[in-house]
Structure 1
Amino acid sequence: MLGNILLGMVVPILLAVWILRRNLKILVIYYPLGVAIASCINNVGFNYFWNILPNTRNQSFAALPMNLGIYPIAGCLMMYAIIVKDAKPWVAILVSALSLTLLEWLAKMMGHVIYFNGWNIIWTFLSYLLPFVLAYGYSKIMRYTK
């Protein structure tokens, strides 16, 4: 569990605060959205499609560091690339989804993630792609409400 906390939450948050220190508004706007989406997807996934180590009575507890760390931070960094660095949105979305998919594939190869009920790496990619598309759509809505 210490590895989940360090690699899934502490390191990503420190990295994001360092990168986004002059753009904290991005963290304030997109971090809560990322936490909400990650929690919803993982709660469904743990019941039907995947499991991560360490095994706990409530599998959502094992994913809590990732739900509070790497997943929302990846969305914030993607939005930073789009808003501040003028990255093309679909390129940023695909790179972000592919990056998280690669990290999960590595965790799966090391035995830290277990898939079942037909779940595979393609579904994993789509489960990362959808939240990034939602975050980008949210940013478009936020621009119209200013």
Structure 2
Amino acid sequence: MAPFVALLSITLNQIGMALKFWTLYPETNYLIFNSINIDFGFNPAMAVLFTFIIYIKQWKRWIVYLGFLIFLTGSEKLAVIFNKVKYDDHWNIFYTFIAYLLGLILADIYFHFLKKLTKEL
């Protein structure tokens, strides 16, 4: 789960920063290093926890989605308030919410098929 989400995170963060939709601070000369802690730490950890709660703890899926969307979007909003993230005029917190929703859906689908494939082995 973590390698898939890390790849997804680094790809989308690099595209978003290259298109100047958002900037992460502190900013470095090398774009790849600006989001390294998020791409290889925070986002994969959240995805692993997300799938653990749904598939192992078997909580209601809609509650897990809602809780994670509130937490992730809220964390991003705090990062914006504390000037760790700056959005340009074409990006806002609603788009961030949609991006996290799509990311959670992709993680859920990926784990569903991963689990199905490993059962067949």
User: Fold conserved (TM > 0.5)?
Assistant: yes
> Counterpart of 2:53?
81
> Counterpart of 1:32?
3
RMSD (Å) for aligned C-alpha atoms: 1.3
Contact 1:105 1:121 in 2 (8 A): yes
CA distance in 2, matches of 1:45, 1:95: 25
Which 4+ stretches in 1 moved above 6 angstroms?
Answer: none
Deviations 1:16-70 (CA, angstroms, capped at 9, x unpaired) = xxxxxxxxxxxxxx11111011111101110120001111112331210111111
- Scaled by the length of structure 2, the TM-score of the pair is 0.89
Gaps of 5+ in 1: 1-29
Question: In the alignment, does 2:10 pair up with 1:43?
Answer: no
> Counterpart of 1:67?
39
Gaps of 5+ in 2: none
Report the number of matched residues. Answer: 117
- Scaled by the length of structure 1, the TM-score of the pair is 0.75
CA distance in 2, matches of 1:129, 1:138: 14
The amino acid across from 2:32 in the alignment is S
Question: In the alignment, does 2:70 pair up with 1:95?
Answer: no
